[in-house]
Amino acid sequence: MANVGIVIVSHSPKIAEGAADMVRQMVGGSVPLAWTGGNPDGGLGTDVASIIEAIGRAWSDAGVAVLVDLGGAETNSEMAIDMLASDRRDKVVVCEAPIVEGAVMAATEASGGATLDAVRRTAEELSPT
Amino acid sequence: MTVRSPNDPVPKSNAVHTGSALLTNDVGLHARPSVKLTQLAKRFGAHVEFARTAAGPWVDAKSPVKVMRFKAAKGETLHFRASGADAAEALAAVVSLVERGFAAEGEDASQPRRE
Query: Looking at per-residue confidence, does A40 or A55 come out higher?
Result: A55
pLDDT band at B15 (very low <50, low <70, confident <90, very high): confident
**Rounded mean pLDDT, B28-50:** 95
> A6-20 pLDDT, tens per residue?
999 999 999 999 999
The average pLDDT across B20-39 equals 94
Q: Are A105 and B42 a contacting pair at CB < 8 A?
A: no
Q: Which of A105, A111, A121, A127 should be substituted to probe chain B, the one whose Cβ sees the most B Cβ atoms within 10 Å?
A: A105
- pLDDT given at position B109: 52
- Interatomic CA distance for residues A97 and A125, integer angstroms: 8
Mutant choice from B27, B29, B32, B35 vs A, greatest count of A C-beta within 10 A: B35
Q: With an 8 Å Cβ cutoff, is A3 touching chain B?
A: no
- Asked whether residue B108 is domain-assigned, the answer is no
Q: Do B62 and A125 touch (CB under 8 A)?
A: no
| Residue A108 is assigned to a structural domain of this protein | yes
Across the range A111-126, mean pLDDT stands at 96
Side by side, the strands of the sheet bearing A5-10 are A33-37, A5-10, A64-68, A92-95
Q: Which residues make Cβ contacts (< 8 Å) with residue B4, sequence separation at least 6?
A: B11, B12
Q: Are strands B47-51 and A5-10 parallel, antiparallel or unpaired?
A: unpaired
Q: Is the pLDDT of residue B19 over 70?
A: yes
Q: Which residues of A touch B39 (CB under 8 A)?
A: 27-28, 108, 111-112
Query: Which of the four pLDDT bands, split at 50, 70 and 90, describes residue A129?
Result: low
Look up the domain containing A72 and give its range: 5-124
CA-CA distance, A12 to A23, in Å (whole number)? 17
- Whether residue A129 is contained in a domain is answered as no
Find out whether the peptide bond into B9 is cis, omega within 30 degrees of 0: no
Closest CA to B39 of B65, B58, B62: B62
| Residue B9: predicted pLDDT | 56
Range of the structural domain that residue B52 is part of? 16-99
Identify the H or E element spanning A74. helix A71-82
User: What's the structural domain count of chain B?
Assistant: 1
Residue of chain B nearest A22, judged by CA positions: B32
B112: nearest CB among A25, A29, A105: A25
- Look up the CATH number of the domain holding residue B95: 3.30.1340.10
Task: Name the band, by pLDDT with cuts 50, 70 and 90, for residue B12.
Answer: very low
Name the closest residue on chain B to residue A29, using Cα atoms. B115
Q: Tell me what ipTM this predicted complex has.
A: 0.87
Number of domains in chain A: 1
The reply to whether B39 falls in a domain is yes
Residue B112 lies in a domain: no
